Amino acid sequence: MSNLDLNFHKSSLNTPGRLQQITTVPPALFRLCHLVQLHDREAFSRIDELWSSKHILYVITSGQARLISSNGQLMVNTGSAVVRQAGTLLQHESKRGSLSPVQGIAVAFDFADNEQKLWPFGHPVPITSRLIAELISELVLSNSKRNESGPFKPHMLFYQLLDTLRDHAARLAHEDHSWLDIVIAHIHEKVTHSFTREQLAREANVSPEHFSREFKKHTGLTFVEYVTRLRIRIAQEQLLFANPTLQELAQLTGYRDTFYLSRKFKQTVGCAPTLYRKTPKKIVSLTYNYTASLLALGHIPHMGAVAEWMEAKIIEYGPKPFKQYYEHELINRMDLIADSHPDVILGYAPHSGMDDLRQIAPTILMPFEELDWQEQFIHLGRITGLEAKARTLLERYDTLQQEANRTLDQMMGVRGSAVCIFMIGESGAYIYGHGWGRASHILYHSLGFVPPARMEKDGQLLTGYIHVPLTEIHLYAADHIFIDYARESSEQNAVDKLFAQESWNTLGAVREGRLYEIDADMFYGFDPISVIEQLQHIMHKLTSHLSMH
């Protein structure tokens, strides 16, 4: 302590009278209670049931869900967050459509023990915020490593989250959609039509000069540059995803003159449309399965979403280093993607940041539910210029599939039913239908097994997957059960409970040894390398059992 500090300290202690300038700190409004990872859309309703008396913040790290609140329908996409007050519900809409698998984080919190019960966040509204994504990621990490981060950091990050949410709520409450937001939305919606700066300025009720100034300030581009880039991006995406003629391309992009389109394309991209597909491309993959599929093709992505189940594939099929992130890190990190200067961005459709991604590079987003894994892989082969290799890999799988069926025809004849069960702890397990990976498509499409009768009876097979409570897992049993046991010691209790149930132990598959252990990591991907491994693993389990009987 310096002499000045020491003198000040002494004089302040010796000052007679009352202490001055004491301000009362406002009481804490909320306290952090629970964190849980969301693995599917069903988890929304289950969390609402379990924590109906608590406030919930949902942060979507991948996928899309339709939710219904008392104030209407909400659509939450990758990168968005929504908070709901205790005592209210966010029900998941059961309507099937172009949705991709939802994953995310749910944060449960409660009012603190004080008399003030203020709710500063308004009605549930989807919020897209890079800061929220970063804070939730750090909160989950610090909570999982409490010995390292200490007891205070999770709560500090939680209050930063609340502060960010409040700022967004306050801004939304006092902010009308600006004329510029409406203009940009109109441009994206009507990009194939003819429109001018003057026309849009007149519709927005601003002068053309003001229009130009504000447009450049907001987008970084002039009106003409923005529209041109958007149209050329669409042309690039069409050339990568399909094989349109120049005339078709002109119609799709709003250019009626093919010569003008070719000139603008070359000015923007650096080569003619006819040569574009043949040029090497730096690819950013926003999803785990597309990164794995690129590695299977021998195309090392420039940047890719990676997960622990991919580690062996990265070593074996991706010897060259590339920039690796978790999916949730790429949610709103447009800066990471932009700084990598990609030629193509790949991901699932829909994506809340599609318009921003397109400003960086051509963006191909494929609807997960509408395309099976083989169709998606063929498209990835076309985009990378490796379609022949993609088809060769799929032909290899088809050959193995045919051999597997001949073997099963000889050893068992009629297939019967089969199911894949993935344990997740005390709350139960996930069971997958025929179109969402996790090897169920191998059982039902490739090998001719049928799903458990309960799934078909309830119409749940079409939803892709379901969450089943521990006490109901036996209802979804089949002649052959493939099960991933919990690997964490904290989850082992759930497995012990399941195996102790009489309803489980009386199942035919359990009594007769048709219960096969699998590893969730091996059964996660739907790239050809993963699917081939899954097929071989399933066949090894089945033939080993059948050869003993």
Q: What mean pLDDT comes out for the span 282-307?
A: 93
pLDDT above 60: residue 1: no
Sign of CA dihedral 280, 350, 220, 303: negative
Looking at the chain, the whole-number percentage of residues with pLDDT higher than 70 is 87
Highest mean pLDDT among 190-194, 243-247, 294-298, 490-494: 294-298
Strands of 80-84's sheet in order across: 30-38, 103-111, 55-62, 80-84, 127-128
At 72, list the tokens. 């209407």
Q: How confident is the model at residue 283 (pLDDT cuts 50, 70, 90)?
A: very high
Express each pLDDT in 484-520 by its tens digit: 876 666 677 778 888 888 999 999 999 999 999 998 8
Q: What mean pLDDT comes out for the span 400-428?
A: 90
Distances in whole angstroms, Cα of residue 176 to Cα of each of 128, 170, 276: 17, 12, 42
Distances in whole angstroms, Cα of residue 368 to Cα of each of 264, 288, 289, 393, 526: 33, 13, 11, 20, 12
Second CATH level (architecture) for the domain 179-278 = Orthogonal Bundle (1.10)
The pLDDT of residue 302 is 94
- Give the CB-side neighbour count of residue 217, counting CA atoms within 13 A: 8
Contact 208, 201 (CB under 8 A): yes
pLDDT above 50: residue 173: yes
At 401, list the tokens. 């599939």
Higher pLDDT among residues 541 and 468, named by residue: 541
SS3 readout for 23-38: CCCCCCCEEEEEEEEE
Q: What mean pLDDT comes out for the span 536-542?
A: 96
Buried/exposed 456-495: b ≥16 CB within 10 Å, e otherwise: eeeebbebbbbbbebeebbebbbbbbbbbbbeeeeeeebb
Strand partners, 198: none
For residues 376 and 387, what is the distance between their CA atoms, to the nearest angstrom?
A: 11
- Residue partners of 120: CB distance under 8 A and separation at least 6: 29, 166, 169, 170
Higher pLDDT among residues 471 and 48, named by residue: 471
Express each pLDDT in 229-249 by its tens digit: 999 999 999 999 888 989 999
Enclosing H/E stretch for 50: helix 42-50
The pLDDT of residue 203 is 85
Q: How confident is the model at residue 11 (pLDDT cuts 50, 70, 90)?
A: very low
Q: What mean pLDDT comes out for the span 383-404?
A: 96
Q: How many residues does the chain have?
A: 549
Instruction: Please give the angle made by the CA atoms of 166, 163 and 88, to the nearest 5 degrees.
Output: 50
Residue in the structure block whose two tokens are 């003057």: 198
Higher pLDDT among residues 119 and 89, named by residue: 119
Q: What mean pLDDT comes out for the span 404-412?
A: 95
Looking at the chain, the whole-number percentage of residues with pLDDT higher than 90 is 38
Sign of CA dihedral 99, 427, 84, 138: negative
The pLDDT of residue 4 is 39
For residues 527 and 373, what is the distance between their CA atoms, to the nearest angstrom?
A: 7
Strand partners, 468: 429
**What are the strands, taking DSSP E only, across 378-514?**
418-423, 429-432, 465-468, 480-484
For residues 377 and 371, what is the distance between their CA atoms, to the nearest angstrom?
A: 10
Express each pLDDT in 114-169 by its tens digit: 777 888 888 888 887 778 888 888 898 888 887 888 889 999 999 999 998 888 87
Express each pLDDT in 35-83 by its tens digit: 887 766 666 667 767 788 899 998 887 777 777 777 667 777 777 888 9
Q: Which CATH superfamily is domain 283-384 in?
A: Nitrogenase molybdenum iron protein domain (3.40.50.1980)
- Decide whether 283-384 matches 409-547 in CATH topology: yes
Question: Where are the domains positioned within the chain?
Answer: 30-173, 179-278, 283-384, 409-547
At 183, list the tokens. 């203009």
At 316, list the tokens. 């074996």
Q: How confident is the model at residue 20 (pLDDT cuts 50, 70, 90)?
A: low
Express each pLDDT in 342-381 by its tens digit: 999 999 887 778 888 998 999 999 887 678 889 999 999 9
Q: What mean pLDDT comes out for the span 400-426?
A: 91
Higher pLDDT among residues 92 and 275, named by residue: 275
Q: How big is the chain by its Cα radius of gyration, in Å?
A: 28
For residues 101 and 462, what is the distance between their CA atoms, to the nearest angstrom?
A: 13
Residue in the structure block whose two tokens are 């441009």: 187
- Give the CB-side neighbour count of residue 121, counting CA atoms within 13 A: 21
Of 315-319, 450-454, 511-515, 525-529, minimum mean pLDDT range? 315-319
* 10 burial level (CB within 10 Å; 0-12, 13-18, 19+): exposed
For residues 457 and 476, what is the distance between their CA atoms, to the nearest angstrom?
A: 11
pLDDT above 90: residue 401: yes
Q: How confident is the model at residue 307 (pLDDT cuts 50, 70, 90)?
A: confident
pLDDT above 50: residue 14: no
- Residue partners of 268: CB distance under 8 A and separation at least 6: 228, 229, 232
For residues 47 and 84, what is the distance between their CA atoms, to the nearest angstrom?
A: 12
pLDDT above 60: residue 177: no
Q: How confident is the model at residue 87 (pLDDT cuts 50, 70, 90)?
A: confident
CATH topology of domain 409-547: Rossmann fold (3.40.50)
Q: Provide the 8-state DSSP code for 159.
A: H
pLDDT above 90: residue 341: yes
Higher pLDDT among residues 458 and 65, named by residue: 65
DSSP 436-462: S-TTHHIIIIIS--B--HHHHHTT-GG
The pLDDT of residue 10 is 40
Q: What mean pLDDT comes out for the span 396-415?
A: 96
The pLDDT of residue 168 is 81
The pLDDT of residue 430 is 84
- For the domain 30-173, what is the CATH code? 2.60.120
pLDDT above 60: residue 463: no
Higher pLDDT among residues 32 and 3, named by residue: 32
Strand partners, 54: none
Strand partners, 289: none
Strand partners, 92: 67
